[in-house]
Amino acid sequence: MKIGLISDTHGLLRPQALQALHGCAQLIHAGDIGNPDILDALRAIAPLTVVRGNNDRDDAWAGEVPHSAILRAGQIGIYITHIPADVPPTLPANIQVVVTGHTHKPLMQQRDGVLFINPGSAGPRRFKLPIAVGLLHIDGQGVVGELIELTL
């Protein structure tokens, strides 16, 4: 199973991001969406799990979006929240992956047997940080993360 990760679109959904996420069985948007049309475009690709970012302030559409979520993909538990500092010090049971956004910096690291992955920003460029998305590859052996820098 391939799960696509996107974050910090801030109202800009690039065609390169859509292309990179094409073929995913599930998508995760880790917040700072910026526009509800982005959610519709992502849902057209695959089922979507989404969390609210600190810039998603319009309650008309973002008020229903949770600040954190848990997704189960087979035997893999995925905890999602926008701001890395909001990850609880003790994760819920059976979480193997934590997905965050906010920093605009792609990052992937193992911490105490849990894969922490931030796909970076797929929206407007911030400073000189790359424009990126991520993938989770899940099979009977476990989960492997992948970060993809988009060519603009």
Residue 45 is predicted with a pLDDT of 97
For the chain, the structural domain boundaries read 2-149
Q: Which residues of the chain have pLDDT under 70?
A: none
Look over the chain and give the mean of its residue pLDDT values, rounded to a whole number. 96
Q: CATH number of the domain at 2-149, please?
A: 3.60.21.10
Residues 6+ apart with CB under 8 A from 116: 84, 87, 97, 98, 100, 107, 108, 109, 110
Tell the residue number behind the tokens 């701001």, with chain if given.
83
What is the rounded distance in angstroms from the CA atom of residue 51 to the CA atom of residue 69? 7
Which residue type does 89 have?
P
Residues 6+ apart with CB under 8 A from 74: 1, 138
Count of beta carbons in the 10 Å neighbourhood of residue 78: 24
Kindly write down the DSSP assignment for every residue of 53-66, as one continuous string.
-TT---HHHHTTS-
Burial label, 56 (beta-carbon count in 10 A; 0-12, 13-18, 19+): buried
Closest C-alpha to 78, from 146, 25, 28, 113? 28
Closest C-alpha to 30, from 11, 60, 52, 47? 52
pLDDT digits (tens, 9 = 90+) for 58-90: 999 999 999 999 999 989 999 999 999 999 999
Residue 13 is predicted with a pLDDT of 97
pTM over 0.85: yes
Residue 152 is predicted with a pLDDT of 78
